Amino acid sequence: MCSTRPPVCWTWTGCEDRRVRVDVVTIFPEYLSPLDLSLIGKARQDGLIDLEVHDLRDFTHDRHRTVDDTPYGGGAGMVMRPEPWGEALGHLMAAGEHGEVPHLLVPGPGGIPFTQAMAHELAAEPWLAFACGRYEGIDERVLEEARGQMPTTVVSVGDYVLNGGEAAVLVMVEAVARLVPGVIGNAESLVEESHEDGLLEYPVFTKPPSWRGRGVPEVLLSGHHGQIARWRRDERLRRTALRRPDMIERLDPADLDARDREVLTDLSELPDEHGRFDTNHPISG
């Protein structure tokens, strides 16, 4: 098992036989069917990700397969009963070899924010289990008990309220799975992405060189790698300053060179009110 890893794992050697196990417990198993598709579906076929979706109702014993009940103390909505959850988590843990347990992730708007850094941490773990709550949430005693049995984290994918945890699990599994070595063919494409180093990504262009009267920034056609890299960094800094000033505040000043500081102080070069970032750059075509 690998013990250390760099922030991006394409140089991470010795882990070729690594597979990540992911279990999802939900009352809507079909909701997770997008995980059969695209890169995640391929990673599952290739054996890089071993993903299993479980129906919470399979852990009920009444005729109506009931998973919810009214909240103690009153109030609107229903609460997920603890018994099926206790059985479902017990079923998952029973599958652990040598006492191995999953890291339990419970999506909820009251959780800690899911970030790219957390996606990297989770991608390095061998076994993740997601517990999708619905209605007003899961009886708190389930989480209390789980905390005594396995690492348990309540996670939010944003400051808004979803109807249940399933959409959040799709987001998290996609963000985590693409960081598992081997899932993305060209791992270099992970390097300059938004949120990888505290900056948003630069704008990208492809052929044709002129489209509906709009050209491509000249420098990108120059073949001058140094200038292209500098232009891209300038764009990342500007874009981040405009859209996410909170991220600029979190940058370490020691990581900024003289040109970086110039770009950030001369924000008159920021895009116009239509959000165009490159109006001050020579455009070809």
Residue ranges that bind ligand ADE, judged by CB under 6 A: 107-109, 156-158, 160-162, 165, 168
Q: How far is the CB of 110 from ligand ADE (least distance, A)?
A: 8
How far is Cα 25 from Cα 133, in angstroms, rounded to an integer? 9
Place of tokens 């059969």: 36
CA distances from 247 to 62, 82, 197, 240 (A): 51, 40, 10, 7
Q: How far is the CB of 106 from ligand ADE (least distance, A)?
A: 8
Residue placing its CB nearer to ligand ADE in the complex, 72 or 160: 160
How far is Cα 67 from Cα 56, in angstroms, rounded to an integer? 8
Question: How many alpha carbons lie under 13 Å from residue 269 in its C-beta half-sphere?
Answer: 20
Q: How far is the CB of 24 from ligand ADE (least distance, A)?
A: 13
Q: How far is the CB of 137 from ligand ADE (least distance, A)?
A: 9
Residue placing its CB nearer to ligand ADE in the complex, 9 or 105: 105
Residue placing its CB nearer to ligand ADE in the complex, 108 or 217: 108
Considering only CA atoms, which of 230, 231, 240, 246 is closest in space to residue 267?
240
Cis amide bond preceding 208, omega within 30: yes
Residue placing its CB nearer to ligand ADE in the complex, 85 or 277: 85
Q: How far is the CB of 59 from ligand ADE (least distance, A)?
A: 21
Q: How far is the CB of 28 from ligand ADE (least distance, A)?
A: 13
Q: Which helix (H) or strand (E) holds 80?
A: strand 79-80
CA distances from 238 to 232, 247, 259 (A): 10, 12, 12
DSSP H helical ranges for the chain: 38-45, 82-94, 116-123, 140-147, 166-177, 225-243, 245-250, 258-265
Residue placing its CB nearer to ligand ADE in the complex, 117 or 191: 117
Residue placing its CB nearer to ligand ADE in the complex, 29 or 271: 29
